[in-house]
Structure 1
Amino acid sequence: MTAPFLVTGGTGTLGQHVVPLLRQAGHPVRVLSRRPRPTGDGRDGEDGGLTYVTGNLLENEGVEAAVAGATTVVHLAGGPKGDDEATRNLVRAATEEGVRHLVLISVIGANRVPIGYHRMKLGTEVAVAESGIPWTTLRAAQFHELLHTVLAKMTRLPVVPAPRGVRVEPVDSRDVGARLAELALGEPAGLVPDLAGPTVYGLDELIHSYLRSTGTRRPVLPLPLPGKAGRALRAGTNLAAEGADRGRHTWEDFLSGRVDA
């Protein structure tokens, strides 16, 4: 029997794109989920090629069982805190199991942006790179879904703050999922080129476009973003490095399908 691909975070925004692509390529997939899920829900035929296992990477629960028998691990699970420790737990189990390819999703600017989240993501990269397992790491820009959620919260305020000079290049999760599946099906490649969206926007542009798409009227107040983080973001440390790959789907494409969200 072919060894399964283990996908952590396989039920999330990114995993919902990656898992079907791996299945379409003919590989069995095991999804690690923090909540119990039924196996064989009808979406995967009757070949038993999609299974779910329950575990918690941060608490180091069920990790060995999830990794057992897998030769490729695609690590997509993440959260606002603890990703570095969760990744170290996964790496330990994967090393003991003899995993031959570890694929990681990270964030553009992990090594440059002086924000706690980016430092944490850099910690996940270091854990993978120092694991001794052949690895591939993809740094991606912020997903459209994330920016949509952030803007929805910001625009509930009576006056919407717009940090001056901050630029972003949001990427579609479908594009990231397709690239990750391609990398997982290939040979370990180390740190590959960044993946960002096709367009660089000022954050104020995105705020105005969101307001227009939802028919919301709010005054927008440009404000300076203070401190070391503000200086770094204005310098573009969150933007893709030279030679980056670019997704096909634009922010406008995304908004056109989400105006009622």
Structure 2
Amino acid sequence: MSTILVTGGTGTLGRLVAARLRAQRHEVRVLSRHARPYAVDLRVGGAALDAAVAGADTVVHCASTPRGGDEKAAARLIGAARAAGVRHLVYISIVGVDRVPLGYYRAKLAVERLVEGSGLGWTVLRATQFHDLVAGVCAALAKAPVMFVPSGVSDQPIAVAEVADRLAGLAVGAPRGRVADVGGPEVRSFASLAEAYLEAVGKRRRVVEVRLGGRVYRGLRGGGHLLPEGAVGTGTFEEYLVGRFGG
């Protein structure tokens, strides 16, 4: 069995990846800023990071934040992995990072480039947005008496468990470079997703679509973050809502 380090291993995706790898009897190390014994801030690195990667065969890099610092964190991780002789670096990215000019997407694309040029064996998987993210956006928008959503924008949410299954499978295999992207089973207007969320949580809100401006909005209206030809997921948003909120 392999020794596999999962960064962001206490997060939404990372904890599921770690659980699947443990179920296959791999030795799994979970790295996050507060998880002992591998409590590491990847943006800082240092001896704690070196200890976390020492002896690891594979690193699955799930740690990420829209608050900034992903590129610096990836550079630190790659440097430590090279020094430790890690054979395989697996990175989870997002569908559309090269098509939607969102700052966070640009950072994810930059990390992809770092991974590709790392000199390590590598695998990159892109996925569409998780159900959890869409529900979180809906929850924030539903705080107001009227729920304003962007007009002409669709989404294709996927179950995080399905992405974890795919990522864990890639982690135990040989490096494959950029693999086929994965997307959720349905491309849905954001308004319809908002309506489904409101019904699930029992809130009454008027959903109003509004036209926005800017390059990011144009990229989203153009479907740059969608993958209709790669709809491999099976879990729907409604099924996720029932599992989370009951029904």
Does the CA contact (< 8 Å) of 1:194 and 1:245 recur in 2?
no
Aligned position for 2:160: 173
Q: Which residue of 1 aligns with 2:58?
A: 72
Q: Give the Cα separation in 2 of the matches to 1:22 and 1:3.
A: 9
Shift of 1:245: 5.2
Partner of 2:31: 32
- Unaligned 5+ segments in structure 2 are none
Give me the whole-angstrom Cα distance separating, in 2, the residues matched to 1:106 and 1:245.
16
For 1:16-165, what aligned pairs fall within 5 Å after superposition? 16-37=15-36, 52-61=37-46, 62-80=48-66, 81-165=68-152
Q: 1:259: how far off? A: 2.2
- 2:23 is matched by which residue type in structure 1? Q
Secondary structure of the structure 1 residue equivalent to 2:164: helix
Query: Aligned-residue CA RMSD in angstroms?
Result: 1.5
- 1:191 aligns with one of 178, 185, 198: 178
- 1:253 correspondence with 2:239: yes
> Is the 8 Å Cα contact of residues 3 and 69 (structure 1) preserved in structure 2?
no
Structure with the bigger percentage of helix: 2
Please list the CA deviations of residues 151-179 of structure 1 after superposition, one character each: whole Å capped at 9, or x if unmatched: 11110112111111111100111000000
1:43 equivalent in structure 2: none
Contact map agreement 1:22 1:29 (CA 8 A) in 2: yes
Question: In the alignment, residue 104 of structure 2 is paired with which amino acid?
Answer: Y
Farther-moved stretch of structure 1 (233-242 vs 119-128)? 233-242
| 2:230 is equivalent to residue 230 of structure 1 | no
Identity of aligned residues (%): 46
Superposed displacement of residue 240, structure 1: 1.8
| C-alpha distance in 2 between matches for 1:167 and 1:109 | 13
Work out whether residues 38 and 49 of structure 2, in 8 Å CA contact, stay in contact via their aligned partners in 1: no
Alpha carbons of 1:151 and 1:120: their partners in 2 closer, same or farther (altered >3 Å)? same
Q: CA deviation at 1:241?
A: 6.8
Provide structure 1 residue ranges, at least 5 long, that are not aligned to the other structure.
Answer: 38-51
Question: Measured at CA, do residues 5 and 245 of structure 1 come closer, stay the same or move farther in structure 2, by a change above 3 Å?
Answer: farther
SS of residue matched to 1:138 = strand
Given that 1:170 and 1:251 are in contact with CA atoms closer than 8 Å, whether structure 2 keeps it comes out as yes
For 1:149 and 1:133, locate their aligned partners in 2 and report how far apart those are by CA, in whole Å.
Answer: 35
> Counterparts of 2:244 and 2:25 in 1: how far apart (Å)?
32
Structure 2 counterpart of 1:48: none
